[in-house]
Structure 1
Amino acid sequence: MNPDLRRRYVVNTALFWLPIGLGVAPAVLLFAERGLGTAAVAVVVAVHSFTAAGLELPTGGLSDVLGRRWVLAAAGVLMCAAFLLVGLGGTAVLLGVGMGLKGAARALSSGPAEAWYVDAVRAKEGEGAELRSGLARGATASSVALAVGTVAGGVLPWAFGRGGYGEQLGEATGGAVLPLSLPMLLGAVLALGFSCHSLLALREPPRPRATLGGVLRGVPVTVVDGVRLAARDGVVRRVVLTSAAAGSAFAVIELLTPGRVAALTGGAESGAVGYGGLATAGFLCSACGSLLAPLLRGGRRAVLLGTAAATLALLLLGAGAAAVAVAGYAVFYVTLGVVNPNLNELLHHRVPDDRRATALSVQSLALQLTAATTGLIIGPLAGDGLLPWLFPLGAFLATALLWTRPLREVTAQQPVSADGQDRRVTDLS
């Protein structure tokens, strides 16, 4: 285990997710302040999801061809532009463009940092290097950064708005900057810091000099190979399907929970504060789960127990009273914190180095598409009790059943890479 590599990976991960967290609490309220109705807000948010989904595979291939740090630096620049547009934009078009840029930044960033860490550790310690501890620290860093950012993004507009400073700010800037804009503008500055850290800290071996023609040829080939790998290898396929189940659950939780909280607190404003606190608690629960992951035996059994626990947690969320639902919420996020490092360790032991970021993009694509599709399906069912929760419940139950089959039964017959190399795992169960 190399602590310097782990430290750089953890810091880079936290720097990316901190500005994202800043935008969690104020985003929808800011859109409303700019005059957008509920339907327009839904469209603007969907622009982010579908842009991220559409660019997942090409950007993953780009990272495998050009290198990790340059793609991450580009993600930071796009994220800076996105936060500026969202924070200052006064029309639905500008806000939509900002959310599209944010989706593009999300696609660029989904995989390269983790791929860099795995490449660096395997280069120093060999292909059998233990990865779960570092991946768990990275997952913990992302959850803590999201929690800190969510709290700061909620408190900053409230604190600045006290004493009339918010009105003075709006008058001084012609309405361009509102108190709810401040977390976005701070996020833009932090995004540039993330780009600088990516360039300076994530050093990697020199790659062959890339030409435009080489990139245009190499990225599609890499993407196709990554998709083939996900389709052909049983372990990678299970990892991707588990991520898809998580996407379905996130969509239902994020769509239905704010309304339930508002109904309990008696108002939209108090509901927003309550949901912000609940979301922060969820991020911290996920961080605790990630800290626990290295202490537990990894591999298939950890993922199987985790997916089974997530199924139970979703049942509590959908069918339980308020206290029971909160318990289910906490269990679900702790469970995901435990499962994800184990899941990604299985993935990294199955993919070749030159397809690593693409494989992570396939995994992220499954999550994004399932989340967007589930959200569209359950929207009309939002008031129908347990019915909307049946989608993620069914997905997680099916996923848990997939992990009951020992991995050795799959790996004995499946090559893992598109070039035909046999990298079988003999005992990960």
Structure 2
Amino acid sequence: MTVPMGIRIARRRYITVCVLFWLPLGLSIAPLILLFTERGMAMAAIAGFFAAHSLTAAVLELPTGGLSDVLGRRAVLAAAGLLNLAALTLVGLGTTPWLLGLGMALMGAGRALSSGPAEAWYVDTVQAHSGPDAELRTGLARGGSATSAALAAGTLLGGALPWLLGLGPGLGARLSDATSGAVLPLSVPILLGAVVEIAFVLYVLTALREPPRPAAGLPDVLRGIPGTVVGGLRLGGRDALVRRVFLSAGAVGSALASTELLTPGRAAALTGASESGAVLFAALACAGFVCAGVGSHLAPLAARLAGGGERAVMLSLGTGAGGLLLLGATAAFTGVGLMLLAAIGYGLVYLGLGAAGPNEKDLLHRRVPSSVRATALSVQSLALQLVGALTGLIIGVLPPGALPWLLGGTALMAGSLLWHHRGRTTPPTPATPRLLQSAESAPASGT
């Protein structure tokens, strides 16, 4: 079937936004902690920096989702880019704890602001062009694949640049001397990410066109946010399908926390040194992003083969849970064969999560109105972050071995079972139309 030109343009712009937003994050993954260490920061300070990021993102998640629904997708997304630009600049050049902590907090604020506006813009644009029954899954899947590709490429480039700079005779030292120590080789990928953020902001402002919204001053905007947030929360409280999406996001957060916290130590134990373990972890992270991208690309096929989006979500999350359980089963053993099984398990985690994401989003967007769309996405993101943080705390007190892996695997399997025997999207309950009508009439525009 021929895709209309307007939808093709919307897909291309959405994919470009995904790449430009997530590439800077990918560039910072490999060098960030090492840069903090080079700046003389103790582990307690580094943990504090990441806590500042997480807490800022969690506190601002819902209010900023409501802000996007009130003020507009483009304005909020551009603000997220500007915050990330400031954050990456501070982190790349900062030499004192308060500057680095401020940079991480600003990065958390940018992450909260970016949670939902681009996706909401794409859905709004496609539905305005082709109606509420427009096909969404393909574009969302391609956006997910683009995000994974940007993270994978950024991780490789961010890990390679400092190493390449260190190959030249005295090049890293000359770079540090020329900038009075402000720029280290480890700073370069992060500052490159800041340059990409400039391109991101310019692209958002010029390419993401949206219908004009009613003029609203700051007091009107602030008054509109609480009603929009309440409308988004009510969707999860009164709509069973939306509630399953939110609960599944929590299960995914638990799975990701388990994988991201436990894999670096396992890689170091396998190689026998933290430095070589970090290299192995960077390669594994890149492979995980690639698997997530492949899974996202295959999401429409998964829905067709499974007989519907809900069954596809169930099978995809089950695949990821199987991967985590396989990682747990091999945690206490060594050997080439068992390491190969562990690598397969790691790939299955990200493949399953990648395939589940677009199908969940397709189901969610068909159930929520435009006035609370970004808020609903923020609730989903908040569930992922909070459950992930709780899982991390629990893992910290569990004994090493299979049990921490099994925690994430069990949570993800529970998320999969939420979709059992639901082969098609269930119609809204009688209360849902009134809920949506109420949400549409919330003071989202400040009127």
TM-score, normalised relative to structure 2 = 0.91
Does the 8 Å CA contact 2:310/2:425 hold for their aligned counterparts?
no
Corresponding position of 1:204: 210
Which of residues 394, 402, 406 in structure 2 aligns to 1:390? 406
What are the ranges of 5 or more consecutive residues in structure 1 without an aligned counterpart?
424-429
Residues 192-341 of structure 1 mapped to structure 2, 5 A cutoff = 192-296=198-302, 297=304, 298-320=308-330, 321-341=338-358
Secondary structure of the 2:181 match is coil
Corresponding position of 2:72: 67
Structure 1 residue 37 displacement after superposition: 2.0
Structure 1 residue 421 displacement after superposition: 6.8
Corresponding position of 2:393: 376
Structure 1 residue 180 corresponds to structure 2 residue 180: no
Corresponding position of 2:335: none
State how far apart, in whole Å, the 1-side matches of 2:54 and 2:194 are: 20
Deviations 1:369-421 (A, max 9, x none): 1112211221232x521111232222112212210142666734551663447
Does the 8 Å CA contact 1:240/1:362 hold for their aligned counterparts?
yes
User: Is 106-115 or 89-98 further displaced after alignment?
Assistant: 89-98
Secondary structure of the 1:399 match is helix
Structure 1 residue 252 displacement after superposition: 1.2
Does the 8 Å CA contact 1:351/1:416 hold for their aligned counterparts?
no
Corresponding position of 1:358: 375
Deviations 1:76-131 (A, max 9, x none): 10000000111111122211111110010011111000000000000010100010
State how far apart, in whole Å, the 1-side matches of 2:434 and 2:128 are: 19
Residues 398-413 of structure 1 mapped to structure 2, 5 A cutoff = 398-406=414-422, 411-413=428-430
User: Is 257-266 or 384-393 further displaced after alignment?
Assistant: 384-393
Task: Give the counterpart letter for 1:306 in structure 2.
Answer: S
Query: Closer, same or farther in 2 for the Cα pair 1:336/1:8, shift >3 Å?
Result: same
State how far apart, in whole Å, the 1-side matches of 2:225 and 2:435 are: 15
Corresponding position of 2:445: none
State how far apart, in whole Å, the 1-side matches of 2:205 and 2:313 are: 34
State how far apart, in whole Å, the 2-side matches of 1:361 and 1:419 are: 18
State how far apart, in whole Å, the 2-side matches of 1:3 and 1:417 are: 34
Task: Give the counterpart letter for 1:54 in structure 2.
Answer: V
TM-score, normalised relative to structure 1 = 0.95
Structure 1 residue 56 corresponds to structure 2 residue 61: yes
Task: Give the counterpart letter for 1:317 in structure 2.
Answer: L
Structure 1 residue 118 corresponds to structure 2 residue 128: no
State how far apart, in whole Å, the 1-side matches of 2:44 and 2:311 are: 43
State how far apart, in whole Å, the 2-side matches of 1:375 and 1:299 are: 30
Does the 8 Å CA contact 2:228/2:439 hold for their aligned counterparts?
no
Count matched residues: 422
Does the 8 Å CA contact 1:55/1:104 hold for their aligned counterparts?
yes
Does the 8 Å CA contact 1:229/1:417 hold for their aligned counterparts?
no
Query: Closer, same or farther in 2 for the Cα pair 1:51/1:421, shift >3 Å?
Result: closer
Task: Give the counterpart letter for 1:122 in structure 2.
Answer: Q
State how far apart, in whole Å, the 1-side matches of 2:400 and 2:164 are: 38
Query: Closer, same or farther in 2 for the Cα pair 1:12/1:231, shift >3 Å?
Result: same
Does the 8 Å CA contact 2:241/2:426 hold for their aligned counterparts?
no
Task: Give the counterpart letter for 2:420 in structure 1.
Answer: T
State how far apart, in whole Å, the 2-side matches of 1:414 and 1:404 are: 23
Corresponding position of 1:427: none
What are the ranges of 5 or more consecutive residues in structure 2 without an aligned counterpart?
331-337, 441-447
Deviations 1:286-307 (A, max 9, x none): 1111111122324111011112
Task: Give the counterpart letter for 1:345 in structure 2.
Answer: D
State how far apart, in whole Å, the 2-side matches of 1:68 and 1:96 are: 28
Deviations 1:263-302 (A, max 9, x none): 1112111111110011000001111111111223241110
Secondary structure of the 2:113 match is helix
Task: Give the counterpart letter for 2:319 in structure 1.
Answer: A
State how far apart, in whole Å, the 1-side matches of 2:173 and 2:185 are: 8
Structure 1 residue 164 displacement after superposition: 1.4
